[in-house]
Amino acid sequence: MNIKITIKKIIGVLLIVIGLLALITPFTPGSWLIFIGLEFFGFRVLFWDRLKAWFSNKQKHD
């Protein structure tokens, strides 16, 4: 079980680093990898629930 946590953290760090590199270079549109890396660490995007609710309300009204 401890190995899974370690692997998850390593993957999270790699995704964050790749996402940061993608932010600086104009040729790679992969800066969204930062958010996936943070998810691997267990951080939720602060506005994720609000964003989902907003999109579902917007679809109901359209």
Q: Characterize 29-61 residue by residue with b for buried, 16 or more Cβ atoms within 10 angstroms of its Cβ, and e for exposed.
A: eeeebbeebbebeeeeeeeeeeeeeeeeeeeee
Asked if residue 62 has pLDDT above 60, the reply is no
Q: Say how many CA atoms lie within 13 Å of 44 toward its Cβ.
A: 7
- Residue bearing the bigger pLDDT, 52 or 14: 14
Which of 13-17, 29-33, 40-44, 51-55 holds the top average pLDDT? 13-17
Q: How many CB atoms lie within 10 A of CB 25?
A: 11
Q: Can you give the pLDDT at residue 1? A: 63
Count, in order, helices (H) and strands (E) of the chain.
3, 0
Confidence of residue 46 (pLDDT cuts 50, 70, 90): low
